[in-house]
A = this chain, B = another copy of it.
Amino acid sequence: MAASFFAPSRMVAVVGEDFPESYTTLLQSRGIDLSGLTRQKGRTFRWKGRYAQNLNDRETLDTQLNVFEDFQPTLPSAWISSRYIFLGNIDPQLQSSVLDQVNSPVLVAADTMNFWINGKAELLSHTLRRVNLLFVNDSEALELAKEQNIVRAAKKISAMGPKWIVIKRGEYGAMLFLEDQIFTIPAFPLASVFDPTGAGDSFAGGFMGYLALAKEINERNLRQALVVGSVMASFVVEDFSLDRLQTVNDLQIRERFRAFKNLTHFDDLSLDLLRVAS
């Protein structure tokens, strides 16, 4: 959904019989190709959690895999030429199996989490070797790299495969590790955050969609993509579910991009101040 604001999008996923028709209609209304969406006997994946009052920490109360449990992502044969791949946060073996089904993509990005870092380290390391860009939370990055410092962790993760690493820091924003540079963006300061669920996925969606729109993958576009991801995430948390993404428009997206500029911009030191008074 977040990606569809910027580029034609395709989705591979599985849902159960309980999945509301209104959502597939919604996704289609944004031009998202759902030929990779399987509807299957049983119930859709469900997650239930409780957020701490700071909305940054959350506790899982219940996870029901349901139809997700035996999910084998199968791409429609026409999708073999898909160019921008985002591997959602699932079993690294399944992530690899998706890559087996595409032919020389331009960019392969992946998300992962502590569950796979601890439980399927070897399979994850196999997948990471095929990934160009990794999205990961800060605490999970430290776990993955067995480090205490995020700069050293990113360097180590980069040696595992991904050329670029996006560290998600919740209310503190995100960092992008390029080869020899670091770019940071704060989270958009909102006076009220309604529901942070899905912020990370919308972030990745906006990021990937913008890169596809910008076409060339270079430092300039990667930096802008991180801002666009933050823009989309900042809208999603303003309401439940996809509600805010149903009302947001292009003008508001561009305005918030500019608001991020105002939030982070400062002028170079003036020439007459360049000689610091020591």
Contacts and interface: CB of A to CB of B under 8 A. Distances in A.
B276 A250 contact: yes
B224 A5 contact: no
A151 B191 contact: yes
A6 B276 contact: yes
B189 A277 contact: no
13 contacts: A4-B278, A149-B190, A149-B193, A173-B184, A175-B186, A184-B186, A184-B189, A184-B263, A213-B273, A214-B273, A254-B269, A257-B269, A258-B268
Interface in A235-278: 249-250, 253-254, 257-258, 261-269, 273-278
A226 B224 CA distance: 23
Most buried by B among A172, A214, A269: A269
Given A269-B224, A269-B257, A183 B5 contact: no
Contact of A189 (B182, B264, B265): B182
A274 B254 contact: yes
Interface residues of A, number: 56
A151 B189 contact: yes
Contacts of A275: 250
B193 A266 contact: no
Nearest to A268: B261
Give the most central of A30, A150, A264, A265: most B CB within 10 Å.
A264
B263 A149 contact: no
Nearest to A264: B264
A152 interface: yes
A10 interface: no
A183 B265 CA distance: 8
A271 to B, nearest CB: 11
B278 A5 contact: yes
A125 B183 CA distance: 39
Contacts of A60: none
A48 interface: no
A266 B7 contact: no
